[in-house]
Every structure is written in structure tokens, then in C-alpha cells.
Amino acid sequence: MNTVHTAQGPVQGEHRAEVTVYHAVPYAAPVHDHAPTPTAASPSPTQPALSTATLPNPGIRATAPNSPFPTSSPPASAPPLPQPAIHLTSAPANPCRPSPAPPLSPPDAHTLSASPAPTPPPTHLGARTVPAPPAPTPPPTAPGARPFAAPPAPTSPPAHPGTRTTAVPPAPALARPGLLPTATPPDTRFTAPTPPPPRPGIRDATTPGPTAPAPHRPTLGRLDLTPLNSPTTPGPDYRTLTIWTPPTATTPRPVLVFLHGGGFQTGSGSAPLYDGTAFARDGILLVTVNYRLGAPGWLHLPDAPANRGLLDVIAALEWLRDNISAFGGDPNNITVAGQSAGAMLATALLAAPRAHGLFRRVISQSGNPAAVLTPEQAYRITAALAAELGVAPTAAGFTGVADADLIAALGRIPLPTDGPLRGITPFGLVLDPDTLPRPPTESALPPVDLLIGINTDEANLYLVPTNRHAPWLTTEALFGAGSRQLAQAHATQLPGRTHRYEFAWRSAAFDGSLGACHCVELPFVFATTAVQELHGAQSLLGPTPPSPELVARTHAAWSRFITTGDPGWPAYTTETPHTMRIDEQWTLTTPAE
């Protein structure tokens, strides 16, 4: 089965000995990272344009005393933040950034005419531009262009009282969507996902596609992270799935949807570690998801949907509900699993009303379900990034800023260590009435099974390879407490459907000090411990490989849970909090809660 038919058309995959892989299957429309650029001649300096009179100066940069963050005042729609005295230094306003005044009433002052008219209609009185008086002869139009209304004649009357006009400078560097004729799509990085368009012919899904824009991080300090962080591949069509299927179609098979980690900033579903061959061998379809990272996915903005990366994941699940049966999967038996940031996304689905009914089970590996930011906490990063770039702290302000510039600026911003993730990432899920009304640890949970756990020495990943001393970075603070809170809440609401583990196998990397750190369980879950880059004195698994029996047993437990909801040990309950300690010897414990 190399070719399957989806709602967008047929897809041809890559056939291998034990599996068929469908690469870069789109579940949402492309993401464009640029503002439109003019294709017609630049307007005359006398041509009416949107006013910038009321725009908050995008160059304002404020620094609050005793704060590591440059901050700026939040927009009116953002929750107010307590601010100490602020000293402002104003920079010149950006003439290409229109005022955030109320929307224009139709007809707009910049209404485009399909062809020159003998007498251009007057501009609506409520608009913020000068009315266009009749002109004897409209200027000629280039073939195919969509010109503005003709500019005022020399004898035109004065502007209507109360209107505010600003001449558009010649050849602006940044243009807002809709202001000028364009040949490129608008910036869609900060909008909600939309379905992928149909396409004619057969889609070639035999090779990996683009990945979300992200900083390339092949190492963390001295630790080799190449099995987790493949080099990024540019391109707008990165909201895609990689689907690993058994080579022969039988009855509908269980589906595992895996969400990669990376601190909401890095990673992709096509990393070598997430090879789905072992799951396909067990009769399970593996689906990995590329979702928006960094500012496009997670920057909290008053004029854009919150948690856009989470919306991408929900869009992927909706696409799978409608299409996975074509690949041999069972849409009624979907398990969503994730590690680190991906685990937080997986558990956030438990509290996202729109996601309910799209999955049957959840696996949380080394996440923190309680680490949900308030809008005020999230806005600190928005304000700091806007100040660093000299733009307004809104989606409109960031529109047109290149992805590379967003990524570089984020790397220059100091991170707060008082947040729920202790400064290891600038981003996280944000409380929002539409997408995430409450943290999963405080929500009414849907009737799904849960497998949740952490590694014994999670924090070592952030400390050992970097020789960092950070007493606030502890395994309990980062991942332990939040995971335990969700296990307790789930066991209370859904008795008998919660299972918990602790992964304790210690890597001998860095002279044995890396231990059971963050990420070390992943090669066991995917049975990919043979990946060469995992082994070495400064690699994730260290110089001493684990036993094949431990790898096989760990992978089998995950496969069993995905298929049946039972990993093979007693459920975690509020009365008896059973936890399976996974090491060369497996031990069922009942730790004091």
C-alpha cells in the first residue's frame, strides 16, 4: 500500500522492508512568514495613505529598574501588569506600520478598482483619508495591475475636517497586507490554522519536507543532540505529518500520535530518534506532528489567537479523524503521546474543549501539566521581544519581521527564572478562555486513559553538559510535582485508568554524571537505541549500551498501553499510588505522596 487517498488527493509513500512511510503529509495550509511586497509602481508622495498619527511608537523601549526584562506597556486588550516607574526613550516611528485605530468602515479609503473609472467615487466620510475628488483623466494603469483611486487634482479642495493623512514614502520596505497590490501571500504565522488546499495529481510523500523555523541546536553544552534536533529545512509547507504504517493493510489498527519536545522552540517529527519501524512491527501506526514553534506558535499577542501551536495539534487530530482510516488506522483508537514540551501539549488536550473526542489515550513523558502561564507572565516575553526588535507588541507589529530575526532576538532576551519552567524556555501554554480555560491539573477531564511519568534525574540534562550551577533547576520543580498533580487528579476523576512510571536507567555519559536525565527514555520507547549518535562519552546513552531486554520490555509496555490502555502493571490510585520504576530490574513501588 504505497498510495492512499485523502481529502486533499492521493498521496504516495516510501515503501521499506517492514514499513511504509508517508513524509510531509499536510494537515493545514502553508505558513507564510513575510509581508506582501509591492508589484506596482510606488505611490506618489501626495497619495493618501493610512494615518500613523495614533500608532504607539514601535521604537519605544522601556527598561524597568531591577528587572532583567526590557518591557513596554501592554496593549489595551492585554491584562494590565504592575509596573514600576519606567523611563522611555523614543525612537522614530515606523511609517509602514498603520495605526491600531478602529477598522475602516466600508467602502475603505483604499478600495481597489478593477479598471480606471472616468470619475473615481468619493471616499467614505468615516475613513481616515482625504476624499478623492473627481479627476479629468485617471492615470494609466499597467496591464493587470489593480491601482489605487486617482490622486487629487491640483485644484482639489482641502481635506475633510477631522481626517488625518500621512503620505506613503516611496518604496516602503514593509507593506501591510491589503494596502498595496501584492504578488506574495500575506503573513499567516499568527493566525489560526486552516485546512490544506486540495492539489491535483499524486502528492509525492517519499522524502521528508520542510520543518518549522527554529534555531539549530546540535548540542547542549557538550552533549550531542543531533538524534533529537535535525537540521531545519526551510519552506512554508511545514505543518505536516509523518505517518509510519505496517506494509500490509488489515483491520483498522491503533494509532500513536507523537508530539516532539524542544522547549516550544526546536525539534521536528522527522528526527532520527522517532523512527516508527518498531511500532509498525507491533501493528501500530505512528504519526509524528510538526507544529509551529517559537514566536509564531507561542508568543502571546492581544490581536492573535492564543496557543497557536496547540491549535495546530488540534487541527492535526481533526485531519486524522477524517483521513487516518485511508492509511489503515482506527480513528476511534488514537493515543496522543509527547515528551517534554510535547508532553505538555498532550496533557493540555485534556483541558482543551475543542480536542475532546479526538483521542482515546494520553501518554505524558517528562512533562509538567501544571506549568501553564498566566497572560501576564506570557506577556513579559512579548514585551521584551517587541522592545528588542523595535516593534509594537502585537501581531501587527511583528508582521513582516523575518523568522530569522525573531529567532535571533529571542536568543538575546534574558529569561525569568521565577516561572513554572524556571527559565529553561521563553514559551509555554497560556491560560485562555477559548483554547485552554484551565490547567489540566484543575480541569474536568475527559474519559481517556493516562500513562504519565518522569525520569529520575531530569534536571541533569540542563546542568551536567553545561557545568551550570542553578539550584532552582530541580527534577521535582521542573517535572515531578506537576506530573504527580495530574496523576492524582486523573485517578480521582477516572479511577482505574491512570498508570504511572519512573524511568531510572542511568546513562554513563560524562563519567556517569548524566544519569537518568531528561530525554533518556526516548530511545527505549521507540526502540531506536541503535542510532549511532546516541553512543559516546558525551552522547545521550553514554559509552555503555543498555541491555536489549530492557529496550524491548520498555517499548512493549508502551505498545500495550497504546493498544489496550494497560501497560502491564497495576493502576495508580489515590489509595495505592503504584508507580513502576523502570531500570534493568523493574520494581513496582508505592511512593509516599
Q: Active-site residue numbers?
A: 340, 458, 518
Q: DSSP for 502-565, please give it.
A: EE-PPB-TTTTTSBS-TTTTHHHHTT-TT-GGGBSTTBTTBSSPPPHHHHHHHHHHHHHHHHHS
Strands 579-582 and 587-589: antiparallel
Instruction: Report phi then psi at 212, rounded to 5.
Output: -65, 140
Cell triple for 354: 475543542
| Three-class secondary structure of residue 485 per DSSP | helix
Distance CA 244, CA 258 (A): 11
Contact 141, 115 (CB under 8 A): yes
Distance CA 26, CA 18 (A): 24
H or E segment to which residue 334 belongs? strand 329-339
**Residue 474: exposure state from Cβ atoms within 10 A (0-12, 13-18, ≥19):** middle
Nearest to 334 by CA among 351, 348, 318, 312: 318
Residue 433: how many other CB atoms lie within 10 Å: 8
Region of 263 (left: φ > 0; alpha: ψ -120 to 50; beta: rest) is: left
**Residue 544: exposure state from Cβ atoms within 10 A (0-12, 13-18, ≥19):** exposed
Distance CA 269, CA 275 (A): 9
| Three-class secondary structure of residue 4 per DSSP | strand
Distance CA 351, CA 485 (A): 14
